[in-house]
Amino acid sequence: MGKAYNWMCAGIAGSGSMLYGYDAAVIAGTFAQPGFLAYFNPSATVLGAIGSIYFAGLLIGLLFVSALADRFGRKRTIQFGAVVGLIGAIFQTAAHEIGLFFAGRVLAGIASGIMLTTVNVYQAEIAPPDLRGTMVAFQIVTLNLAGTLASWVGFACNHSTNLAFQWRFPIGLQCLPAVLLIIGCFFIPFSPRWLISKDRHAEAQVILKRLHDSHHDSTFWEKEYIQISAQLEVEAKEKETASWTHMFTNWNELRRLLIAIAALTSVQTNGAQTIQVYQSVFYAGLGFTTKRILLMVGIFAICNTCGGVTNLILIDRVGRRKLFLSGLVILSVMLGVFAACSERYTSTGNSSWGKAGVSFVMVYIFFFGVTYASSPYAYAAEILPTKNRANGMAISLFVANSITLTFTQVTPIALNKIAWKFNIVFIACNLFFLPIVYFFFPETKGLSLEEVNGAFGERVEVEFKDITDGEVEKVAVVQLEDTHDAKV
């Protein structure tokens, strides 16, 4: 089966990000829908709460996702997240009072916390080294595609004379990817690394063969199994004498955790997430009408998706470090120009400055997609050792999204108080992370997850080049039809 099967699994799992991408994007259009505003009549504080409570739910999901992923497996956890997301979508769609809408946003956030962690971990663990960045990046592309769909559905529904339909239908549409993901998870395998950690070696061998038997090295999957088994055997022994909190006291593990936190936090502080959620408020501040605002929200999503597709092509060719460093510089410049255009519009009232500002927002989000949309997620997942990968991703995303929660809560208030000057905060954050990436982020392009240890100066238990033909021949080949659990 090989590469085609590997991509099918990555695609089905990656569709889990559609829930996060759609729900994060649909709220931007919802804030501009007259039907939503007339029905709930939200103040700036309530708008901030609607935006931030989603991320509060995301943080709740991150609190227990690692326990689920390590106990029940990555794919079952993704399936569970889809069920929670489906319930959240139903609550938001059916809401006739703000409390139920808030509850739906919380559940949607919990589902997103589960998805963001588990999908990244799963895709990193099933991908071959030369395609790992691309496969993890693929989930961000599906996320962006879902956001694009949400934006244009919102624009189309704005033309309806039914005020309830204007905002309920776009929100309700996210039930579809949730149902498809619940079904799709029955057709993908468990993570082979998770299976080996549970001493289910025969199943892991079957799955590794199915995933990677078309590799240019005809013995790749056997060598991969030997390397993974050796590394996990050492990690299992370490876990017998130390709990998962060992990552806070062991410098090598803590260093990798801190770098993962920095990578994911830099995504949340560069401005893209905040601009996406509140772009309708930004555009309104530049003097645009509701229909024009919704149109620009749709164009914004297309630019983001095009950037994400470009990232898909570049990440395993250019490498992670170059994308990080160039992204932080380019995004800072674009934010500075956008702030300058906003200031000139505020001072002169000239609509040309408003249009120029929007143009630079579109350029900004394109380059965000190219350099930053998915690179940090791939990087964080691959630099963490298997024993800590689920816990480490959950902790990293918790820290990063705690900051996002703060931004989403204060943004409407900040825009009222200091307007364009708020962009300076994002520029400062980018400049803060620039030297951190330069000095502390090693390149991981082309390395297996076990070989990433070497990039951090740690021991790789078995190198591919040291595996003998005799060791390869000893690897048992288990036929797919003899292992029922490998199918489900």
CA-angle at 461, arms to 456 and 462, nearest 5°: 115
DSSP, collapsed to helix, strand or coil, labels residue 450 as coil
Q: Kindly tell me the burial class for residue 250, based on how many C-beta atoms sit within 10 Å of its own C-beta (0-12, 13-18, 19 or more).
A: middle
> d(Cα 483, Cα 471) in Å, to the nearest integer?
23
Angle in degrees, 0-180, between the axes of helices 44-72 and 98-126, rounded to the nearest 10: 40
**One-letter identity of residue 177:** P
* Tokens found for residue 316: 């395993």
* Tokens found for residue 253: 């593990």
pLDDT for the residue numbered 49:
82
* Tokens found for residue 179: 């149902």
pLDDT along the chain (488 residues), means of 10: 85 76 75 84 80 84 88 92 93 90 92 87 89 83 80 84 89 87 92 92 91 82 90 83 78 93 91 75 73 81 88 91 94 89 80 82 91 89 88 89 76 70 86 95 91 88 82 63 45
138 φ/ψ angles, rounded to the nearest 5 degrees:
-60, -35
pLDDT for the residue numbered 477:
52
pLDDT for the residue numbered 415:
67
What CA dihedral angle connects 6, 9, 10 and 16, to 10 degrees?
A: 180
Measuring CA to CA, how many Å separate 161 from each of 154, 166, 258, 284, 291? 13, 8, 51, 22, 13
Measuring CA to CA, how many Å separate 98 from each of 37, 49, 59, 163, 227? 12, 11, 21, 16, 53
User: Residue 457: left (phi > 0), alpha (psi -120 to 50), or beta?
Assistant: left
* Tokens found for residue 444: 């991981």
Beta carbons of 240 and 197 less than 8 angstroms apart = no
List of residues 6+ apart from 144 with CB closer than 8 A? 21, 301, 304, 305, 308, 369, 373
- SS3 per residue for 301-340: HHHHHHHHHHHHHHHHHHCHHHHHHHHHHHHHHHHHHHHH
Nearest to residue 121, comparing CAs of 182, 183, 75, 82?
Answer: 75
CA-angle at 69, arms to 482 and 227, nearest 5°: 60
List of residues 6+ apart from 343 with CB closer than 8 A? 420
> d(Cα 242, Cα 237) in Å, to the nearest integer?
9
For the whole prediction, is pTM greater than 0.75? yes
Q: How close are the terminal C-alpha atoms of the chain, in Å?
A: 17
Handedness of CA 437, 392, 189, 192 (dihedral sign): positive
Beta carbons of 418 and 426 less than 8 angstroms apart = no
187 φ/ψ angles, rounded to the nearest 5 degrees:
-110, 10
> d(Cα 91, Cα 363) in Å, to the nearest integer?
35
Full set of structural domains in the chain with CATH = 1-188 (1.20.1250.20), 247-487 (1.20.1250.20)
Which residue's structure tokens are 């078995």? 462
